[in-house]
Amino acid sequence: MASASGTAEFDEIAPVYDASRGGTARAAGFADQLAPLLDPARPVLDIGVGTGVVAAELVARGHRVCGLDLSPGMLALARGRLGQRVAVADAGRLPVRDASVSQAVSTWLLHTGVDRAAVFREVARVLRPGGRYLVIPARGIRPTDDIGRIVNDLEDRLDPGGTRQDGPRALAPTADAYGLVYGGTASERPATFEVSPRQMADSLSGGLFTGAWPVSGADLPIVAEARTRLLALPDPTTPRVRHMTDFVMTFTRTG
Ligand SMILES: C[S@@+](CC[C@H](N)C(=O)[O-])C[C@H]1O[C@@H](n2cnc3c(N)ncnc32)[C@H](O)[C@@H]1O
């Protein structure tokens, strides 16, 4: 999959992105998890900064953050938050000098269909020896409640190779191949959120998760089947309290 693929949908959903993804509460939670792992004396490179909602929370906690993203629509919102410290760039071709970065972060980037090998290769290139790349995954540990079982099954059918899974098992071998050693998880934080089967079914139409994962052609009946299964769950309009654990994965450049 080309590293530059998959950001047109982010241009489209940029205006509703924050509100549909937990807003500043999600961002503040992520910043609380990342901040203790970051050195406030050194700048942070946020790769896939999106609307800058997480980066702005890191700035509020005393960090200097520069952000890169391939979607001009997302980045326009980040510019409103971070000013000129943002630029349009492909995570697989970072416009950054070799061995010039001490710490980089990505939140919810590596499940998007981006070329993860290219990202890890570039992160390894720009990090100084001993530098760290902190990653908060979107699908690190997938919920296994009644909604989760249907959505997980759908994801596995659409993406049998797991290219959109971004937990340690999916990422650690690729990172290792480029000299980034996976150091385990840190800052684990159980979280709950509410969603009804109907809301989840709606978020799967027109591209999974409100447009973030485009689907077409032969995949459409698979999505339609998942929607039907969701709407057949008991009390489909009643929100379920769903549980997940957000965590940070650390990758360190050794050489
Ligand atoms: C799910 S959003 C997450 C944004 C932000 N990190 C957050 O947590 O709110 C994923 C972001 O990755 C960006 N992205 C996807 N592929 C990229 C690539 N090849 N290079 C740079 N950014 C990319 C998208 O444009 C989008 O802004």
| Confidence at residue 2, expressed as pLDDT on a 0 to 100 scale | 33
Ligand 1 centroid–CA 135 distance in Å is 12
Ligand 1 centroid–CA 185 distance in Å is 21
Q: Whose CA is nearest to atom 8 of ligand 1?
A: 107
Planar angle of CA 13, 14, 19, nearest 5 degrees: 90
| pLDDT top residue among 23 and 175 | 175
Q: Is the CB of 96 under 6 A from ligand 1?
A: no
| Confidence at residue 207, expressed as pLDDT on a 0 to 100 scale | 79
Mean pLDDT of 117-136: 98
| Confidence at residue 214, expressed as pLDDT on a 0 to 100 scale | 86
Which domains, from first to last, does the chain contain? 8-142+162-192+244-253 (3.40.50.150)
| Confidence at residue 141, expressed as pLDDT on a 0 to 100 scale | 82
| Confidence at residue 6, expressed as pLDDT on a 0 to 100 scale | 59
Q: Give Cβ neighbours of residue 74 (< 8 Å, ≥ 6 apart).
A: 7, 10, 11, 14, 17, 49, 50, 51
| Confidence at residue 222, expressed as pLDDT on a 0 to 100 scale | 96
pLDDT at 193 over 70: yes
Confidence of residue 255 (pLDDT cuts 50, 70, 90): confident
Confidence of residue 103 (pLDDT cuts 50, 70, 90): very high
- 129-145: pLDDT as tens digits: 999 999 999 987 888 99
Q: Is the CB of 91 under 6 A from ligand 1?
A: yes
| Confidence at residue 3, expressed as pLDDT on a 0 to 100 scale | 35
Indicate the SS3 state at residue 244.
Answer: strand
Q: Is the CB of 103 under 6 A from ligand 1?
A: no
| Confidence at residue 139, expressed as pLDDT on a 0 to 100 scale | 83
Q: How high is the mean pLDDT of the chain? A: 93
Least confident of 26-35, 112-121, 210-219: 210-219
User: Atom of ligand 1 at shortest distance to CA of 49?
Assistant: 6
Sign of the C-alpha dihedral computed for residues 102, 99, 71 and 79 taken in this order: positive
Q: Is the CB of 92 under 6 A from ligand 1?
A: yes
Q: Is the CB of 54 under 6 A from ligand 1?
A: yes
Ligand 1 centroid–CA 195 distance in Å is 23
User: Atom of ligand 1 at shortest distance to CA of 50?
Assistant: 27
- 74-98: pLDDT as tens digits: 999 999 999 999 999 999 999 999 9
- C-beta neighbour count of 173 within 10 angstroms: 10
Per-residue tokens: 105: 């972060």
Q: Is the CB of 112 under 6 A from ligand 1?
A: yes
Confidence of residue 211 (pLDDT cuts 50, 70, 90): confident
